[in-house]
Each structure stands twice: as C-alpha cells, then as structure tokens.
A = this chain, B = another copy of it.
C-alpha cells in the first residue's frame, strides 16, 4: 500500500531522519520547488548530546525533544510522516516502511548512527544504550531501581554489585555519563539513601584504547582524567571488554568485575537501512558518497552525516561522526540541490572543524578550538553556552536553562523518577 501523500508535479525529495541534518535539509529545501517528505520513527527531534543528562535525572525528556509538527508549522511544502523505514529499493526508487511504500525522485538518507557492539553475542542483550529518549529513560529507571533494590538486601556482595556502574567507552558520551554518575554519588545519593553506605558505590569508566577523548588534545585527555578522579570515577585504559551477562563484566585480559549496570558507549556504526547493495557500504556500515554527498553509483540518492562515508585526503577514513559534520553537509547539500535545479555547478564539501569539547561535571569541562585549549570553569561555561544555543526550540532552551540553573544552585537532580520501571 502506498502512503497517502498528495500528488504534486514537483519533484519529490524524501528525507529519512529528523536529526540535525534532516531538519536543516527539510527547512532549506522547503523554499525551493520541491515536495519534501520528512520521515522519522519518532514525532520529535532528539538533541542527542544531552541524552546522558536525561538518563541521570538532570533533565526532562521533553527538554531535549522538539515536536516535529511544530517544526513544519508554516512550511506546507513539508509533509511529515512518522514511520520506520524497513527497506530501500534503489532500482525502483521506492522506500518501504511500516505504514506503506513511497516513491521518490530524490532520496536523502540522514538516519545517523546506531550502537556498535562489534559482533558481541550476549552483551547487546544486557548493555544499556543511550541513542534515543526511551533508552535514556530506561537507563534512568534502571539506575534508580538498582538503588531501591540494594535497600532490600543485606547481602553485601549483591548490594555492591547493584551499586556498581560500568561505563564502556572513553569518548565524550562515556566521559560525560561517568562524570554525571560521579556527581550523583557526590551530591545526591548520600541524602537519598542514608541507609546505604554510598562510599561503596563504584563507577568504572572503561576504554579499550590508551586514552580518554582520543579525538581531542593530550591536555584535554589528561585533565579529563583528573576531573573524573575528583568525582571518584575509576578509569581503566587499554581494557577491552569481552563479554557481559548482566552480572559480570569479562575483560579481554581475563579480569572480571561484578556490576548490575553496564552502559555501552563504545562506538557507533552507520544506521543504514536494509536493501542497499553491499557495494555501496564502506567502513563502519556507512554509505560511500562522493564530495557532493551522492551515493556512488546511485544518482539521486544522497547520504549525509553519520551514515555517510566521504573519504578525502584530510579524512581518509571518513569524517568524524559528530553533529557539525552532519550540519555542514546538510547545508551544502541543500544549496547544491537548489543549484542543480537552477543549472548551476555544484560545490564540493569541505569540513570546517570548529573544535570539540566535553563536560565532566559542574565547573569541569575541556575545550579544544584549533590550537586554543582550555579546561575548567570557563570551558564548562562555554560548553553550556554552545549546547544551549544548539538545542532546537526556544521553549526547550528556556527549560534546560532553568533546570541547569536549579541543578547548579541546589546540587540536585530533580528528575530522579521511575516513571516506567525498566524490565528486561
């Protein structure tokens, strides 16, 4: 069955995914002579960089989710459908979804990335992930449930396992999550659980490689270690995790650790839908695209952001899977599609790296901007400002600001709520 969408004689551009790239494309193309169909499995845009704060009770889900229908207000050229894409038939120029099929003239894949478990068997079943709002809420519930459960037992081994948190992956998400857990331990949990000895709560940040924040400067990495240690986080470098069965973390080197919670932020792969010939897919499950983000060998089919693999001299393995790449590629692709319509020549993509940053806790962050590097309070302030500005929607900026202000003044995390208990 075909999805019910008005037929026009304009070329139909189907954009899959309403992340940063998808929203920019839909917005910029809506001024051109296209019919745009925006498809996402949620009815909201997710501001992924702050999901870890939802998981640790610092923010509401609604503060980092922006309703897509609000986004299309006064943009009648954009047709929005909430659907899960199941297959792409490139030869017929048709996509299949859970609500029906849809023909396209141009297709733009902006599906982002999904968690990479590197082929592990048991781990995906027991590891918590943080790529979507429901996943972050599940993690929030699980963390709190484990403390409630710890109260019910007098078996200290079980109690320790219930209050041990393992974060795998020393990238920004892993570092920020471990730091947020450290702040919960320091400021919130001793008041919440006077019956437990919160000093026994353990937070482990585990990285397979030799450095935290491998994409940043040495100074940022080493300062991050200092900050995490101040928040009582145990750091394991050069320690690949082999398996996890819900109780025991098994390291590749043979060591073991008892923990009821394991948060997996050790890597992502391109969220490439089914049906695309393997010849178009490169390293990390990403789609091979040329310098105009067109999938090689499939004219009219584009991929942008995390799901695209554009190899250049400066980035022989493709660009980093971060928001600025997606934003810049989306902006240029929108321009190029308009140029094409006008018969003008296309511009090739060139990534402008504005720098990177991570926050570890209150007054503790690290920032690299080119050769300029700074850490501590000012870095933390810059991190907050940049994130606040990047959140989609004025109302969300406002409520995040209010919550951050509140959290800062009160040392509190007001949203330690188990709205829907997590069940495996």
Contacts and interface: CB of A to CB of B under 8 A. Distances in A.
Interface in A393-411: 393, 395-396, 398-399, 402-403, 406, 410
Most buried by B among A67, A134, A191, A403: A67
A135 to B, nearest CB: 11
B4 A193 contact: no
A8 to B, nearest CB: 13
Interface stretch (A75-83, A171-179, A225-233): A75-83
A16 to B, nearest CB: 17
A74 B151 CA distance: 18
A393 B148 CA distance: 22
Contacts of A148: 43, 81-82
B192 A70 contact: yes
Interface string A137-152: 1000000100010011
Contact of A195 (B6, B73, B144, B402): B6
| Chain multiplicity (copies) | 2
A419 B79 contact: no
Interface stretch (A57-65, A267-275, A293-301, A361-369): A57-65
A388 to B, nearest CB: 15
B416 A43 contact: yes
23 contacts: A3-B152, A4-B152, A42-B418, A60-B62, A60-B63, A61-B417, A61-B419, A62-B415, A65-B419, A67-B192, A67-B416, A70-B191, A70-B192, A70-B412, A72-B192, A79-B195, A81-B148, A81-B151, A100-B152, A134-B420, A137-B419, A395-B412, A396-B414
Interface of A: 3-4, 6, 42-44, 60-63, 65, 67, 69-70, 72-74, 76, 79, 81-82, 99-100, 133-134, 137, 144, 148, 151-154, 191-195, 393, 395-396, 398-399, 402-403, 406, 410, 412, 414-420
